[in-house]
Amino acid sequence: MNLNGKKVAVLGCGRSGVAAARLAAARGAARVCIFDSDAHATCSDATVEFVSGAGEKEAREFKADLVVISPGIAADKPWALAFTCAGAPIIGEVELAFRYFGGRIIAITGTNGKTTTTALIEHILLQAGRSAKACGNYGYPFCEVALQKPQPEFAVLEVSSFQLETVQSFRPEVAVWLNFAPDHMDRYTRVSDYYEAKLRIFENMSEGQLAIIRVGEKMPALKPQVVEFSACVGSGLLRYEGTRIKQMDTTVADLKDTALAQAHNAENAMAAILACRAVGLKNDEIVPALASFEPPHHRCEFVAEENGILWLNDSKSTNLHSTEAAIRSQIRPIILLIGGKDKGLDYTPLIPLMKGKVKKCITFGQIGEQLRDTLKQEYDVARVETVSEAVREAANCATSGDVVLFSPGTSSFDQYTSYAQRGNDFCQAVRNILHI
């Protein structure tokens, strides 16, 4: 991609936007400017030209040759389209980085499990002596990795539907599709739009490349070779039985004494094993790394166990599917803490899944009342306003042998700036009430 003499507009002043601006400037763009529609926005890099409070007037006046859009901004909105008035194409930060990255790419998408799988693949590669960077929707912006000298051998790239909307030539060597369930209905008009955006991970792949897919996912015909894994169905190249990952009758790895033993993390582990095999690693390089891996925080994370009651922080559960996976993975009676922002999702599918597993629900946040009304016909439900109140209610009703599962099932933006802030608040509330 030749940027010499070109004017590049970068939309959004977050970390990925700044990285994209730096990469464009380093590759010869004549002028690079970051624009943000928020009048109060600030840019972390004082060396980059930056305009806050930008409107359509500023967009048209810039006359960009290329527009690089951040994933949080929809490319079909009038403000973004105004930057294309001189005929400039719109691409995302992932696409820009791809055009300048010379290493090998393992890309991971899915409604849930992306971050854990991305971190695990990076961990395995590093433990095996390869150079690798987790990037994209997790870790570094991909453009930061493309700027590194030398570049790592592997970019382990978590890609969201928002990032995949704006790819053009992007093509990973290995693509992992973990799962699909409705999400982001505050961004997409139809579930099919969300699905089609995620499918773009395979769009430019060829027959010599590999797609790793969970058994049971509804997939169109794909050009790359397909291998499958499963934690719930007795098929796929790898499957999970008890605590063991098996290939036919051979045990590949036993997850019993690892942080990956729950079924949802076993799926992530199988996907990671297959991805690392695909780029040339052997089982004896892969399996030892599983024991030393610690999943990222806020994903069915252990908080405490006092008086026989286990407290788990699953704040990263920002959709129904992730809460379903968390419920399935538990063998103790569950006190379920669920709630947050109203994203327009339907929670009735939870009702049959909870039967025999969830003894009480505690709902909170913007969607708390709706959830209470949805679930109260079948379950004992308490409605509170805040996470701290939910923790107090759980402490009052939990008994020895229970697990208090904080798995909100929606995003945090009604009361928090991120799922991490929400999860930290939950953990602190637990510590406070247990005096630990």
184 is catalytic: yes
User: What is the sign of the dihedral through the CA atoms of 111, 113, 117 and 119?
Assistant: positive
* Of 296, 258, 297, 293, the residue nearest 427 (C-alpha): 297
Total H helices, total E strands in the chain: 15, 20
Determine the angle formed by the axes of helices 263-278 and 320-328, rounding to 10 degrees: 110
- Which whole-number Å values give the CA distances from 433 to 64, 275, 334, 416, in the listed order? 55, 42, 19, 21
321 is catalytic: no
* Of 149, 136, 162, the residue nearest 76 (C-alpha): 162
6 is catalytic: no
Q: Which of 7, 184, 198, 341 is catalytic?
A: 184
Which neighbouring-strand residues pair with 105? 155
Question: How many Å is the Cα radius of gyration of the chain?
Answer: 23
What is the DSSP pairing of strand 244-247 with strand 250-254?
antiparallel
Q: Are 299 and 137 in contact (CB under 8 A)?
A: no
Q: Which of 7, 123, 133, 137 is catalytic?
A: 137
Question: Can you point out the beta strands (E) in 28-177?
Answer: 31-36, 49-52, 66-69, 90-92, 104-109, 132-136, 154-158, 174-177
∠ at Cα 143 (225, 81), nearest 5°? Answer: 90
The gap between the terminal CA atoms of the chain, to the nearest Å, is 56
Spell out the alpha helix ranges (H) of 136-258.
142-147, 161-164, 191-199
Q: Which of 6, 7, 114, 198 is catalytic?
A: 114
Residue with tokens 């009735």, as numbered in its chain:
348
- Active-site positions read 114, 137, 184
